[in-house]
Amino acid sequence: MLNSRKATTVFAFGLATCILELERQEKQQQRRNKQRFRPYLKKRGNLENLLQSPTVFFENFHMSEITFNALLGFVEKHLVSKRNTDTKTISIPPKTQLGIILQFLATGELKRNSGYRNHINTQDLRTILEEVCDAICEGLQKEFPKWTTENMLKWADEFEKKYKFPNCLGVVGGKHVAIKKPSNSDDLFLNYKGFHSVVIVAICDAFYRFTYIDVGAFGKGGDQYAFTQSKLGKDLLSDKLPFPKDSMLNDYETPYFIAGNDAFPLHLRLMKPYYGKHIDEKEQVFNSKLSDTLRCIENAFAILSARWMAFQRTFPNQPYEAQKIIAACCYLHNFLMRESPETYTIAPDSEIPPNTVMTELRPCRRGRPLDYCKEQRNNLKEYLNSCA
């Protein structure tokens, strides 16, 4: 009888211990779940909160809600809802994905800060960043016009009306965009300024809209290499584009061309300034007129870097990620220049913000321009002086 009672007591004690242990484990799991499924993780209301104030919305996205919704209409079909691996059950709709990335690009905040504020882990944010940038480039393809004869004539007409500079199809320029040193890259991305970068080369029209971009050349290459090795650069310099028929200036058949600074080579299709300490008065007039035209690309880069403050810090991303971000920002630039050009975040003819990480290309090495290139530039010089 005693043994039976003792056994019962032991059993009851053991059962109670098991129950207590199960309760302890359950409470521990609840605490873990509470930490994992905190209310702020379940409520991704940041975008909706910002919609309550148009001013705050613009400060965070550098566009109005109307423009944001128009942009969403272009990119939404290229995005799918994402499942947040931190919460397992909470999906992230395309509208929220776009809002998160636009705010990240516009404010220039760190990824970890953006992830914390939007309740997304860093890995998910990286995936969303890449896919939203891809969706922006795909959805806004039409923001980059094709280099047709009709478009080229339109661009040339805009430059002549605005700057009194004939036959100019666009202005080319380039920048080094600072990135974190990639692993196992040796010095491929180390530029002449001593920091690691990828190169963006762009051509713009008279109204600061990009008509062509090439992103991703190694910082070490720099100079004119990025442009001359790009597809458009090769086609342009080898005369493979459907250029308009040469126009007559001072009874001289003058080809259409793009304008560039001293970082690019003088070519039949690429006009650049005269250089040297002893240029004459007519050459100074030419340089002055050309300089006014070259401001277009500087203004375009200035607006780009001021609107998207991600350019004002070193990109911590791998080069291929940085390329996607830069390209997406250029597509967004064109979209906003068309959709709401009044929302400049920098005045035209302003310099690139001093704290930006975009740096000039190095002037190209001096060579001996071909005689017909110099002849064309001299004819333009005479024409511009006759009109002055």
The DSSP annotation for 214-260 comes to: EEEEETTT-TTHHHHTSHHHHHHHTT-S-PPPPEEETTEEE--EEE-
Q: How many domains does the chain contain in total? A: 2
pLDDT at 209 over 90: yes
Q: Is 363 exposed, middle or buried (0-12, 13-18, 19+ CB in 10 A)?
A: middle
pLDDT of residue 39: 44
Which residue has better confidence, 364 or 309? 309
User: Are the beta carbons of 173 and 201 closer than 8 angstroms?
Assistant: yes
Among the three residues 139, 157, 180, which one is the final residue of a domain in this structure? 139
Among the three residues 110, 139, 168, which one is the final residue of a domain in this structure? 139
Q: How far apart are CA 252 and CA 242, in angstroms?
A: 21
Q: What residues form DSSP beta bridges with 247?
A: 254
Among residues 137, 288, 136, 300, which one has the least CA distance to residue 203?
300
Among the three residues 85, 118, 139, which one is the final residue of a domain in this structure? 139
**Domain of 308, in residue numbers:** 145-387
pLDDT of residue 350: 52
Which residue has better confidence, 36 or 189? 189
pLDDT of residue 342: 72
Q: Is the pTM of this model over 0.75?
A: yes
User: Are the beta carbons of 321 and 302 closer than 8 angstroms?
Assistant: no
pLDDT band at 16 (very low <50, low <70, confident <90, very high): low
> Which of 19-23, 65-69, 220-224, 247-251 has the lowest average pLDDT?
220-224
pLDDT band at 270 (very low <50, low <70, confident <90, very high): very high
Residues 46, 128, single domain; the answer is: yes
Residues 241, 100, single domain; the answer is: no
Q: Which residue is it, tokens 């809002």?
A: 99
Residues 196, 268, single domain; the answer is: yes
Residues 222, 89, single domain; the answer is: no
Contacts of 16 (CB under 8 A, 6+ apart): none
pLDDT of residue 36: 45
